[in-house]
Amino acid sequence: MNIKLDENVDLRIVSRLQVAGHNVATVPGQGLSSAPDREVIEVCGREGRCLVTADRGFGNRARFNPADYAGIAVIRLPDRASFTDWCKAIDTLIAGLEQADAIGKLWVIQNNRIQEYQPIEPEEEEDE
């Protein structure tokens, strides 16, 4: 899978994802550090990359409907996350990607598990 790591993700985990066969780009590596969230997610959409982030704001499906993107994975860790915490979360993501496709979905990764949220369906207008 094509993945983009947000600037708030410990970049030491890039090699774990690459060894698992994923194509990884990073927000800092593409000069997008401090870019607005909307710009980051739009770049991910154009590139067909699943965004992996610790920014809980990307979990707002009303603002960032997963159906519009190649997937959003929000990693929730303790405030002072260690490298080991990051490795466990990324290993959970890798295992999840071996079982299912994240395209068009929101995954929240916490406590070694993935909670999957479906896109928000647009409300159909009723015929009068």
Q: Is residue 53 part of a domain?
A: yes
Judged against a pLDDT cut of 70, whether residue 70 lies above it is answered with yes
Judged against a pLDDT cut of 70, whether residue 125 lies above it is answered with no
Count of domains forming the chain: 1
Place of tokens 């992996």: 52
Looking at residue 124, what is its pLDDT? Answer: 52
CA distances from 35 to 6, 29, 85, 114 (A): 10, 13, 26, 27
Domain limits for position 69 = 2-117
Judged against a pLDDT cut of 70, whether residue 23 lies above it is answered with yes
Give the Cα separation of 107 and 99 in Å (integer). 13
Query: pTM value?
Result: 0.91
Q: Is residue 122 part of a domain?
A: no
Q: Is residue 33 part of a domain?
A: yes
Give the Cα separation of 109 and 89 in Å (integer). 7
Judged against a pLDDT cut of 90, whether residue 120 lies above it is answered with no
Token pair listed for 115: 């909670």
